[in-house]
Structure 1
Amino acid sequence: MAGRRFPNGAQSRAYAAVAAGTDIVSAAPNVSLQKARTWDEGVSSNFATTPLKDIFKDKKVVIFGLPGAFTGVCSQQHVPSYKKQIDKFKAKGIDSVICVAVNDPYVMNGWANKLEATDAIEFYGDFDGSFHKSLELSKDLSGALLGPRSQRWSAYVVDGKVKVLNVEEVPSDFKVSGGDVILGQI
């Protein structure tokens, strides 16, 4: 689907379930994410999940999704593009910068620690892909032996309402979903 094109080449793509103005909590009803953590933290929290309203209500959030932890573009470009811009996001009043992938929270925790990004970015797992499916941001990557995953995307969300959504044409692309692009759209 075509969308709005920005001067820097980024394109905001609209999907049936989520577009500018969409309430992300309503678009993904009854969906929760799992904050990155160790197994022991998961056990001690009784495997608690985080409802979307707790993530987005009364906050300015930059959230980005990617195909998977420990994969090439995700590790070498996508997450670092947000980590290096964290001070600029905070200067623009962003409350949280969030990375989400169709992985369990334990893998997300190990990956976040390996990237040394836990002080800058909040990491969440979408273990069953329900968040991405609800927003029509899922992609079958079985051909790459990954199964159902997330597309590569970014969004600026204010009080639960999507203000900007950028989705890459293919998951291996890194043209419109990086930290510098969304920073310029806030």
Structure 2
Amino acid sequence: MAKLSVGSEFPKGVEFKYIPFTKEAAGITACGVPTTLDLDKELAGKKIVIVAVPGAFTPTCMINHIPPFGEKLDELKKKGVDDVIVISANDPYVLSAWGKALKLDHKLKFASDPNAAFSVANDLSLDGTALGLGIRTWRYLMIVDNGKISLLNIEPDPTKVTNTGVDAALAAL
């Protein structure tokens, strides 16, 4: 994969894993069945916000970063956003439970970047091995409009949300 930049095409062949929301598996302990989120199909003809976080259930991600995307989803949609995809290197079961815990599983797609492969390939990863966390996704925000990257904000400090929150996405739309 090529490194990502504003104005470039989103790489082809990217697949994340996620568990789609269903009423039958709405309980936080219901596992659901992981499936492939094919970004070639997901991005075609749509405006998608991709927000990456180092980890589900971590303080900054849980409190400051992701909940505002759910709170301001209507504003994003009014500006033409079709969907918001939250990615992390966590497995799809953890991400599904996190979406349920945040009560956002029916609003946003919580998808796994398995082994942070996409993030690593694009120099958007964080090595948390010394902390026992392994390789993670860095904190970043991307807007992809019909397959073309129109915004790519990367947090200078992945423990903070300065340019990757929902307000940054709204300002760029």
Please indicate, yes or no, whether the TM-score normalized by the shorter chain is above 0.5. yes
- Ranges in structure 1 where 5+ consecutive residues have no aligned partner: 1-15, 43-47
- Ranges in structure 2 where 5+ consecutive residues have no aligned partner: 21-29
Residue 83 of structure 2 corresponds to: 96
Q: Provide the secondary structure at the position in 1 that maps to 2:115.
A: coil
Question: Which whole-Å CA distance do the structure 1 matches of 2:132 and 2:170 have between them?
Answer: 33
Contact 1:151 1:170 in 2 (8 A): no
Write out per-residue CA displacement over residues 86-105 of structure 1, whole angstroms, 9 at most, x where no aligned residue: 01001111100110000111
Question: Which whole-Å CA distance do the structure 1 matches of 2:165 and 2:84 have between them?
Answer: 12
Q: 1:147 aligns with which of 127, 134, 152?
A: 134
Contact 2:115 2:136 in 1 (8 A): no
Q: Provide the secondary structure at the position in 2 that maps to 1:49.
A: strand
Residue 33 of structure 2 corresponds to: 41
Q: 1:22 aligns with which of 2, 5, 8?
A: 8
Give the deviation of 1:40 after TM superposition. 4.4
Give the aligned residue type for 2:33.
E
Contact 2:14 2:40 in 1 (8 A): no
Write out per-residue CA displacement over residues 141-165 of structure 1, whole angstroms, 9 at most, x where no aligned residue: 1233211001111011101110011
Q: Provide the secondary structure at the position in 1 that maps to 2:5.
A: coil
Question: Which whole-Å CA distance do the structure 2 matches of 1:55 and 1:134 have between them?
Answer: 20
Superposed counterparts of 1:74-113, under 5 Å: 74-113=61-100
Q: Provide the secondary structure at the position in 2 that maps to 1:22.
A: coil
Contact 2:92 2:111 in 1 (8 A): yes
Write out per-residue CA displacement over residues 5-33 of structure 1, whole angstroms, 9 at most, x where no aligned residue: xxxxxxxxxxx70010121124xxx3310
Residue 56 of structure 2 corresponds to: 69
Write out per-residue CA displacement over residues 62-105 of structure 1, whole angstroms, 9 at most, x where no aligned residue: 11000001100000011112111101001111100110000111
Q: 1:91 to 1:40 in 2, by over 3 A?
A: closer
Percent same amino acid at aligned positions?
Answer: 31
Give the deviation of 1:50 after TM superposition. 2.1
Residue 31 of structure 1 corresponds to: 14
Question: Which whole-Å CA distance do the structure 2 matches of 1:178 and 1:53 have between them?
Answer: 25
Contact 1:31 1:130 in 2 (8 A): no
Give the aligned residue type for 1:176.
N
Give the deviation of 1:121 after TM superposition. 1.0
Q: Provide the secondary structure at the position in 1 that maps to 2:114.
A: coil
Residue 54 of structure 1 corresponds to: 41
Deviates more, 1:129-138 or 1:33-42: 33-42
